Amino acid sequence: MDKLSSANSLKDHFLIAMPTITDGLFANSITYICEHNDQGAMGIVINHPLDLSLDEIFQHLEINDIQGPHSDQILAGGPVHMDRGFVLHRTTEQEWDSTIRISGQVALTTSQDILTAIAHDQGPVDSIVALGYAGWSAGQLEIELADNAWLTVPADSDIIFNTPVELRAKAAAAQMGVDLALISPQAGHA
């Protein structure tokens, strides 16, 4: 396989599931791609809420002195390591123990210190918390793209942080002039 150039990387892009994906976590999903290189890809599904709140996560982690209720829903970020938390957030001046800057506007943190800060109203203004992530081995995502499983579009942080969960895929598709309701569930190749 040729080296994946940074120009061909889908890092900081959305993957929008085509209607041909009908089962599992990826049905009707939008995934934010955090990393994509010749070794594979990693992303967070940003539109599948779990029946779990942020306050329940704080309680499970035994974080004390919580400031106010945090009823934000936790998302199913993907089928890999669903026991681990991932926080997508706007980039900040604050340093966390384990943060990767994905773009100038979005970062991913996997350390508990950010959850403690959020519980104490000292975290990033905009964030979403997910359990698990989506992962693709080397070349796997490229095969799925060739099979018309996904639409791709550059990411927009406003869709991640300011658009209601149930409207995120529709909003991302609309950026490229696509109405998901009008796409046929039959895949084809031109």
Domain spanning 13-176: CATH superfamily: VC0467-like (3.40.1740.10)
Residues whose CB falls within 8 Å of the CB of residue 185, separated by 6 or more in sequence, listed in order: 19, 20, 22
What would the two tokens of residue 147 be?
């099979």
Q: Which residue in this structure is represented by tokens 């209607």?
A: 19
Taking 80 as the threshold, does the pLDDT of residue 183 lie above it? no
3-state class (DSSP) for residue 28:
coil
pLDDT of residue 25: 87
Q: What is the mean pLDDT of residues 147-152?
A: 92
* Gap between the Cα atoms of 174 and 180, Å rounded: 8
Taking 80 as the threshold, does the pLDDT of residue 179 lie above it? no
Least confident piece of the model among 70-79, 96-105, 176-185: 176-185
Quick check: 34 and 108 in contact, CB under 8 A? yes
For 15-28, what is each residue's pLDDT tens digit? 999 988 887 889 89
For 32-65, what is each residue's pLDDT tens digit? 999 999 999 999 999 999 998 888 888 888 887 7
3-state class (DSSP) for residue 157:
helix
For 89-147, what is each residue's pLDDT tens digit? 999 888 899 999 999 999 999 999 999 998 888 889 899 999 999 999 999 999 999 99
pLDDT of residue 54: 86
Phi-psi region of 65 (alpha: psi -120 to 50; beta: other; left: phi over 0): left
pTM over 0.95: no
Handedness of CA 181, 149, 25, 30 (dihedral sign): negative
Q: Exposed (0-12), middle (13-18) or buried (19+): which is 30, by Cβ within 10 Å?
A: buried
pLDDT of residue 30: 96
